[in-house]
Amino acid sequence: MAKANASHNFADVELNSPDRIMARSEPWHAEDKDTDRHLDPDDTAETIDAGGIKGIPRDALRQLLIFLIPRTDQPTKWRMAAVRLAVVSRILNIDDLGALSLETLAKQLGVTRSLLSLRQLEIADQFGLGKLRSFKSAAARINYKASATKAHSRRQAAAGSVAHPTAAKSL
């Protein structure tokens, strides 16, 4: 039985709907070897509840997704989006993610702790959030940057190589 409101008709997603049956029976591909097998169409505990975002204007929701999903054709696009989502969730302490260490979160995402730290600082700085719990102060960040730069320069000089700036690919 379909549901309706003033502007939309909704279809029930039943346990044995054609889409769910196809999702259950579709075979995994050889390139899916690293796919999380927990992304199961029968995982009824994982529900999508759009009630909390129904009142958000469509353009605002679009802008949020543009912020979270990189505008790139790189094969790492969705991993980049997961990193951004995880960092924003950690900053906002969604499901106590704020208490989770960057190292633990990085292992779960399959990225480095320093990448998460970088993205977290970029986002916090862009939003003017100042010092958040678990963040270094701005002064400590400046001191660390100077110290790390000097140490890197000493290592480069000792190795007899010259450091060249490179364009880093961003996650």
Q: Report how far residue 7's alpha carbon sits from residue 155's, in angstroms, rounded to the nearest whole number.
A: 64
Per-residue DSSP letters for 3-72? EE-SS-EE----TT-HHHHHHHHSPPPGGGTTS-TT--TT-TTS---GGGGTTS-HHHHHHHHHHHS-S-
Domain of 33? 3-138
- The tally of domains found in the chain comes to 1
Structure tokens at 92: 């906002």
Residue 75 lies in a domain: yes
Positive or negative torsion for Cα 144, 149, 152, 158 = negative
Residue 148 lies in a domain: no
Residue 23 lies in a domain: yes
Q: For residue 1, what pLDDT band results from cuts at 50, 70 and 90?
A: very low
Residue 91 lies in a domain: yes
Residue 105 lies in a domain: yes
Residue 35 lies in a domain: yes
What is the reported pLDDT for 53? 84
Structure tokens at 5: 């409101």
65-102 as b/e, with b when 16 or more CB fall inside 10 Å? eeeeebeeeeeeeeebbbbbebbbebbeeeeebeebeb
Q: Work out the angle at residue 62's Cα, subtended by the Cα atoms of residues 59 and 68, and round it to the nearest 5 degrees.
A: 145
Residue 32 lies in a domain: yes
Residue 84 lies in a domain: yes
Q: Which of 8-17, 26-35, 100-109, 123-132 has the lowest mean pLDDT?
A: 8-17
The residue type found at 49 is D
For the segment 6-46, what is each residue's pLDDT rounded down to a tens digit?
Answer: 555 555 555 566 766 666 667 666 666 666 655 565 555 66
